[in-house]
Structure 1
Amino acid sequence: MGGRHAGDKDPSGRGGITAFGVGIVVLAAVLALVLVVRDDENSASADCTDGDPFVVAVAPEIEPIVAEAAARAGDEQCFSYDVVGEAPALTAQAVTIGDDSADLWVPDSSVWLSRVSTQLVDGAPEPRTIVRSVASSPVVVVWPKDSGEAPKTWLALLTHPSFTAGDPLASATAAAPLLAAYAEAARGVTPTAFSTVSAAQVTLAQRQAGNPPPVEPTALLTAVAAARGSTVVSEQAFNAAGPVSEGFDPVVPESGSLGLGYPLASITDRPAISRAASALGDALMTPEAVEAFADAGFRAPLGDPLDTGRTVGAIEPMAIKDPKVVADTIRRWSLIAMPGRTLAVVDVSKPMGGRVGGSTKMALTVQAALKGLGLMPNSWSLGSWAFASKAGSKKDWTELAAIRRLDSPDRAGTHRARIVGATSRLTKQVGGKTSLYDTTLAAYRAVQASYDPKAVNSVIILTGGRNVDPGSISEAKLLETLKRERDPARPVVVIAIGVTKDADAFTLQKIAQATGGQVYLAREPDEIVDVFINALQARY
């Protein structure tokens, strides 16, 4: 720019001292600009070598390719990148809670971005998609060569006794059959098809619950081969497995398949993150990167069939456009597949002694609790509190039984027997004020403090009154505290059950919502048992 001005001719045609003076001024400006440019270059060079690198979390199978592309982008655009191979499930957990240990993310599927977007804590930045897909690989059914014809639909696959899905909580590939089955149902099939898919999901989740399959594709194929079963992996993983996959054929149901898409997203708000992300995105779309992906067995972003390797050819693409469908499907799986870990908190305050029909609210609640307890499998862990504010009591609640597996040994024989006995005696403890707020917060904190990541952790509150404890925290303070202490890394939901129309339905609704839980109301006495069972089965 300075040179361009220095070469301009004086448009007025004037010469002499005036033109010479302008030339001196311009020359001084050029020299100053050169010094500034050199200073900027030195500063930029310093930033290239001394600044903190942009951390890129990537699915492990593409780490070498992304690392090479990042090195090119760094050299060309004066950025520094640190590429780290990490399971998408781990990165997703960090992104959800706002942990900025990585700046950019290349997971194996946009499913992870959808899941994270519905679970972010307040203040955590929303992932921003920079490139929708840098490579792709369809999810294929791995079917034993000697097992006859493979199922023609994803629903038929889910219900096949030899099928293992993998772990949908840890793998987008394993979630694909569930999502694909729902996508099939959405293609003009009657609504009953959705309940059929849900039932198939329940059966599959319960069958796998006792023996979770491996997440790593080669290990999964090895385990499935030993059991003479079937599963799903990506086409790329199938070919990369080598001899392990030789006893299988890769197939795709007639309705098509979902694919791994490898999007690039920014997940922090660091300065220059947009430019760093764009530079990396450009590097991942260069001919060098495209060739590297192809050599590793990945398809191009649009999914053109592979030229080499064992391939399923062109497929009918399927898509899940609503992130809520993804989140609900995964949540449903987690609730079914994972055992329950619950603290049942039962109101024994004076209003629970009120007559309803030919009985009392307390007696009907005990009846419902005992029937619900009979539905809980031995793998569940359960604890029990009774709550009411009574004169002379230091606490508003009493622990009847600690949270333990129902089949664990106990002086009563088993922990289940202890819970049954304690619950049966609740009708004799009625009295005092309804200390709902203090008890709810204490129960929530107790379950969160002893959180079990391998279970669905929850608090079930059964109450037939309103908070009338004058010494307790306020409703506003309770809700504020529950929202503040809610931790997506240790999710604890409150399931609130209101017993008859005397229960404070609006407050129970707010409490449940603050923790991601649900409220259930039994307005009439004959509804109490059914409402409790429905709440128990939903578990969220």
Structure 2
Amino acid sequence: MAGRHSASRTKSKSKSTSPVVKYGAVGLAALLVVGAGGYFVFDRLGGGGCDSTTEYVVAADPSIAPVLTAVTTEASAEDLGCRSFRIEAASGMDPLGAPGQQGGPDLWIPDSTQWVAKASSGTGTLFDVAATSVAATPVVIAARESEMPFFATWTSALQLPGLRIGDPLTSSVSVAPIVGALWEAAAGTVAADAVPGALVPIAQAQAANMHQTDASARFAAVTADGGIAIATEQQVAAHNQDDASTKLAVTVPNTGAVFLDYPVVATASGTEHADARAAGVALAEVMGTESGRVALSQSGFRGPDRAPLDAGRGVGEATVLTVSDPAATAQVLRRYAVLALPSRALVVEDVSGSMAETAGPDTRIALTVQASETGAMLFPDNAQLGLWAFSIGLGGNGKDYKELAPIRRMDEMVDGVSHRQRMTDAVRMLPSLVKGGTGLYDTTLAAFRNVKEGYDPSAINSVILLTDGANEDPSSISLDELLATLKREQDPARPVIIVTIGITDDADAAVLQKISAATGGTSHIARTPAEIPGVFVDAMRSRATS
């Protein structure tokens, strides 16, 4: 084929798993071959007016690659300005789709402008967008027909137990609900701190649910077991068209929807850049023709104007939610990445005599037990947890601490009983142990060393310490000695953080803050009984800032 690129020039081809879209209203006038390297278009050269065509390589998101292939194949060479397009499937910032590579594509069509912003921030390059959008589709909530819950906000959707969301760190579809929730927080629709809190259980479940990273896996899970999944309107429309027996309903919250917009980015460099940009404009124009609009609609895409799909498909009109502060989104995702790491934590609970004092309708220890049981539910099966109790002399032989459950995976079975159940049983023993004074400093150091000794490099290693008082053991090390020892023994390459939780104003907040700060952890105070359960969520969330 005459032109600027030969097949040998194309590097890093990505194998596509997307099905070829069939069109009834659009006849293919050229041969479309799907091979291991992607989608190859052999354009006709005899269309009159073009003695030859110039080929441009387009790295496009797999969801839209078949549509682009069909439309550019149908278009005449003259309509394309004596150009042809080789459409290659590339997800996100796949090496084929990443701009600026030697031998890379001339044009890049990711599914969202968010990828362009990410590439720009990562390389310091301001990329040239030839067309802001060639198609659009809103991110929606999918469920079995007649089983769709009502959602006022994306924040409430994120809080639904068992949400099938995929991986927000690698998918613009999966991150869209978070973007929507951040919009709601910025608009004052939900509390400013509601979004980070809602992400804690999702992130903690992420490692255990990575098999649902693509929409088809999420659809299969919803079809089999119910619940809801995050997907695009286009993905659901294609699913319903292909499998009428498992049709899914779709909705978006009252606040609106985040749309994927499929921009066209000119990525060729040097003297070839201007020609590539013009080719990108021509590609967008042909997608905006009648044939292009029909092809998009038949495969479930909206046009760049975001007009609703016909025949009652999809969610209809929806307010467009956009990222008002990209830096805030990036910060939340950085926190999410830390939260998504598995947990390895030793929970250390104060059982000194003061924990028997009344706190509202219950005692401090009763409320702590309730909060501990609630907090444990945040941890998935792949988390590793252990439990100690402490008061002066509790462990015998001068020790102020006693192991109630060793650190093990929550799903580990011992003598036919799961470790999760053993943790629950151990927590419920705490009230029977209440007596004596608070042996805080020796216990803290011993817990730190215990976690460090069994350090797991694939997890967040921490001590979660709850107390309602100050150190009362006259034979223990001093606070200065404790802080100095923690700093000296902390290994930056194998960090163990201490998260402290003070129960009521009787807790020595200043001391707890110093202990946490010495290891890069955070400190929290539950000043009223009602606040005690919430501090567990805060403690989990704090891992992202340590």
TM-score (norm 2): 0.54
Contact 2:335–2:545, Cα closer than 8 Å, also in 1: no
State yes or no: 1:322 paired with 2:320: no
Which of 293, 311, 316 is residue 314 of structure 2 equivalent to?
A: 311
Contact 2:341–2:460, Cα closer than 8 Å, also in 1: no
Contact 1:145–1:248, Cα closer than 8 Å, also in 2: yes
RMSD: 4.7
Q: Could you say if the C-alpha distance between residues 269 and 186 of structure 1 is closer, same or farther in structure 2, counting changes exceeding 3 Å?
A: same
Q: What aligned pairs does 1:34-433 form with structure 2 within 5 A after superposition? A: 47=4, 52=9, 54-68=56-70, 76-79=80-83, 81-91=85-95, 95=98, 101-120=104-123, 125-147=125-147, 149-189=149-189, 193-242=191-240, 243=243, 246-286=246-286, 287=289, 288-308=291-311, 310-339=313-342, 423=449
SS at 1:118 equivalent: helix
Contact 2:100–2:269, Cα closer than 8 Å, also in 1: no
Q: 1:156 Cα deviation (Å)?
A: 1.4
Q: Aligned partner of 2:516: which letter?
A: D
Q: 1:118 Cα deviation (Å)?
A: 2.7
- Equivalent-residue separation in structure 2 for 1:152 and 1:245 (angstroms): 29
Which of 501, 508, 516 is residue 530 of structure 1 equivalent to?
A: 516
Q: 1:215 Cα deviation (Å)?
A: 2.8
1:60-96: CA deviation from partner (whole Å, max 9, x where unpaired): 121122234555587644555432112225359x738
Gaps of 5+ in 1: 1-43, 342-374, 382-404, 410-418, 427-451, 459-498, 504-511, 513-523
- Equivalent-residue separation in structure 2 for 1:456 and 1:58 (angstroms): 35
- Equivalent-residue separation in structure 2 for 1:320 and 1:425 (angstroms): 40
Correspondence for 1:474:
none
Contact 2:233–2:314, Cα closer than 8 Å, also in 1: yes
Matched pairs, number? 352
Q: Aligned partner of 1:150: which letter?
A: F
Contact 2:56–2:107, Cα closer than 8 Å, also in 1: yes
Name the larger-Rg structure: 1
Q: 1:254 Cα deviation (Å)?
A: 0.8
Q: Could you say if the C-alpha distance between residues 194 and 103 of structure 1 is closer, same or farther in structure 2, counting changes exceeding 3 Å?
A: farther
TM-score (norm 1): 0.54
SS at 2:108 equivalent: strand
Gaps of 5+ in 2: 10-54, 345-377, 385-406, 413-444, 462-482, 493-509, 523-541
Contact 2:174–2:230, Cα closer than 8 Å, also in 1: yes
1:275-311: CA deviation from partner (whole Å, max 9, x where unpaired): 2232233223221323321222211112111113522
Question: After the TM superposition, which of the residue ranges 46-55 and 104-113 deviates more from structure 2?
Answer: 46-55
SS at 2:143 equivalent: strand
Q: Aligned partner of 1:232: which letter?
A: I
Correspondence for 2:29:
none
Q: 1:176 Cα deviation (Å)?
A: 1.0
SS at 2:271 equivalent: coil
Contact 2:208–2:382, Cα closer than 8 Å, also in 1: no
| Identity %, equivalent residues | 26
Q: Could you say if the C-alpha distance between residues 187 and 80 of structure 1 is closer, same or farther in structure 2, counting changes exceeding 3 Å?
A: same
- Equivalent-residue separation in structure 2 for 1:321 and 1:223 (angstroms): 33
1:503-530: CA deviation from partner (whole Å, max 9, x where unpaired): 9xxxxxxxx9xxxxxxxxxxx9875422
Q: Could you say if the C-alpha distance between residues 530 and 57 of structure 1 is closer, same or farther in structure 2, counting changes exceeding 3 Å?
A: same
Question: After the TM superposition, which of the residue ranges 310-319 and 273-282 deviates more from structure 2?
Answer: 273-282
Question: After the TM superposition, which of the residue ranges 49-58 and 198-207 deviates more from structure 2?
Answer: 49-58
SS at 1:151 equivalent: coil
Question: After the TM superposition, which of the residue ranges 299-308 and 285-294 deviates more from structure 2?
Answer: 285-294
Higher helix share: 1
Q: Aligned partner of 2:62: which letter?
A: P
